[in-house]
Amino acid sequence: MSEPLILYEYAPSGNCYKIRLTAALLGLPLARRHYDIMRGETRTPDFLAHVNANGRIPVLQIGERFLPESNAACFWLATGSALIPDDRFDRADMLRWMFWEQYNHEPNIATLRFWLAFVGEAALTDAQRGQIAGKRAAGEAALDLMAAELDRRDWLVGATPSLADICLFAYTHVADAGGFDLGGWPAILRWIDRVKALPGYIPITD
């Protein structure tokens, strides 16, 4: 690994934490640059022109190149490691969970955490407030789906941890901040303990 790696991030974001956790599990050093999304620091002309035209963190800088999207950055970091299965079906199935995370899990579980624990319910727009009940139900359905799978197996894909586990762990283990009581999904709590026991594990607060 010769190219320096720099993570452009807002540290409490689960999407940023995924990348730090993947790098930590793989023993890869990562420099970090903080941007305060609450103050619009990823929407400045400089950020849009040089880091990410989409105005979002995280972005992983690899040498001179920039890679947005948390799950893509994890994929780059883990290429060639045991966190990405060699088997053709299992690799696609890992990506299945990662796409599902971005479509069915993150927009509900992460968004409610952001709205309720970071923005604050009183500061939400009417359009946001009107979506809370739908996101609550969809987030609970996402946790049900994960729990049904984790009731049968230790890890989401194959017999060992993969990026599917790391990427879903990020927002699942802090879902209580969005009002989800994980006590209702004991299979998820046991899986969280397994992830936390992985060699190299770091918490989201690191």
Name the region of 38 (left: φ>0; alpha: ψ -120 to 50; beta: rest).
alpha
Q: Which of 130, 71, 76, 151 is nearest to 105 (CA)?
A: 71
Looking at 104, 118, 119, 177, which residue binds its own copies (CB under 8 A)?
A: 104
Q: Is 76 an interacting residue with respect to its own copies (CB under 8 A)? A: yes
Q: For residue 8, list its beta bridge partners.
A: 33, 59
The dihedral sign for the CA sequence 61, 67, 71, 73: negative
Cα of first residue to Cα of last residue in the chain, in angstroms, is: 23
Q: Does 34 bind its own copies (CB under 8 A)?
A: no
Q: List the x/- string, 107-126, binding to its own copies by CB under 8 A.
A: x------------------x
Cβ closest to its own copies, residue 79 vs residue 205: 79
**Count, residues near its own copies per rule CB under 8 A:** 36
- 140 touching its own copies, by CB under 8 A: no
Quote the tokens at residue 185: 């999904």
User: Could you tell me the sign of the dihedral formed by the alpha carbons of 158, 74, 16, 43, in that order?
Assistant: negative
* Segment near its own copies (CB under 8 A); pick from 36-44, 103-111, 169-177, 191-199: 103-111
Q: Using N-to-C axis directions, what is the helix angle for 163-172 and 70-78, rounded to 10°? A: 140
Binding flag, residue 203, its own copies (CB under 8 A) = no
In the complex, minimum distance from the CB of residue 106 to its own copies, in angstroms, rounded to a whole number: 8
Q: Rule CB under 8 A: which residues touch its own copies?
A: 53-54, 62, 65, 67-73, 75-76, 79, 88-89, 91-93, 95-96, 98-100, 102-104, 106-107, 126-127, 130-131, 134, 145, 148
